[in-house]
A = this chain, B = another copy of it.
């Protein structure tokens, strides 16, 4: 249980912070404005990436702050999950930052999948340009017509037919589907309903220009389309791709998904905690700068108590996330189920609470786009649903606890 940041982490963190202060923070307000100007909500088919993004990405790449998430020390920074965690937190302070450092979902998860499970050909075709930040990708899992919290509900099908596989079904909340640079999706679907529970599903690479890929719309998340990424609803209407597009083999979908989710949840949660720190910073700022009834807001009512409660909550959730990251590195995600599920419940709820309090302190401004609070709120709210809703993670934790109790009803072995 050693969470000491490694020298590499310390070095990257210092450089990340410097980069964010020098390049990202000053650009952020302009970015938001420019982005909303370029990409009004209605017309997602014409969305563009504000030019400053490419410039910032080039700078980040030049500074060596690129692909830090990838555990490979040639293709990425070779950091462990725990080493990367504090860096994800730093990036979480800005909604723009993850892309600038080529560390944003779902590309990170997709790159990890290709890195760990992709063939050489798949890596050459898809992983390389992703690692360069030239293209973007999509992950298609959630479906509109069933409770996707229960993966066995999945209805989209991935079926072999000769040298091809055929994909049929409807997916939504496919993040990044509206992006002009999005080139392919990793699609998960049902291959064999009669197989063992965790061998029923497959994952396949589907180019977005394949025949039968019909993007219907972008979905607003709490009113935000998150241009130029977007959260799309897409139909796969008898889409055919070569069998070589399968990741692993038929029936390997679950196994791959599990591997994808552990570190991905660490990234999400650490970014959420970075976002919570950002919101708390905004709370302090407003609380100090704005005066009512003759005193700064911070000195009114229970606001100082709120500061304390937010600090306690953030610090606890961070340590728990470090612990989950450490366990993933030490014993693997499958033996860190409780911890991964625990942070997946804890971190987004902390963020939601902190943002809600901060919005309240900002009053009307807090609900507008003048401060990034509603975007942070949408991030929290979405994260309580995506990658398994709170309820599913609570159920996992409780099941593990019950199994532990059954095995050792008198156990008193603290960790």
Chain B residue at smallest Cβ distance from A349? B312
CA distance A4 to B1 in the complex (A): 4
Chain B residue at smallest Cβ distance from A221? B367
Chain B residue at smallest Cβ distance from A150? B292
Chain B residue at smallest Cβ distance from A414? B89
CA distance A396 to B293 in the complex (A): 13
Among A222, A369, A386, chain B packs the most CB atoms within 10 A around the CB of A222
Q: Is the CB of A389 within 8 A of B360?
A: yes
Q: Is the CB of B345 within 8 A of A398?
A: no
Question: Does A384 touch B at the CB level, under 8 Å?
Answer: yes
Question: Does A258 touch B at the CB level, under 8 Å?
Answer: no
Chain B residue at smallest Cβ distance from A273? B414
Cβ < 8 Å to B, chain A residues 301-347: 301-309, 311-312, 315-320, 322-323, 338-339, 341-342, 345-346
Residue positions of A touching B, CB distance < 8 A:
1-5, 13, 17, 20-21, 25, 40-42, 86, 89-90, 93, 142, 144, 146-150, 153, 172-173, 219-224, 231, 273-274, 277-278, 280-281, 284-285, 288, 290-293, 297-298, 300-309, 311-312, 315-320, 322-323, 338-339, 341-342, 345-346, 359-360, 363-369, 374, 377-378, 381-382, 384-386, 389-391, 393-399, 401-402, 405-406, 409-415
Q: Give the top 7 A-B pairs by smallest Cβ distance, nearest first.
A: A223-B223, A302-B302, A308-B394, A147-B292, A150-B292, A319-B319, A316-B316
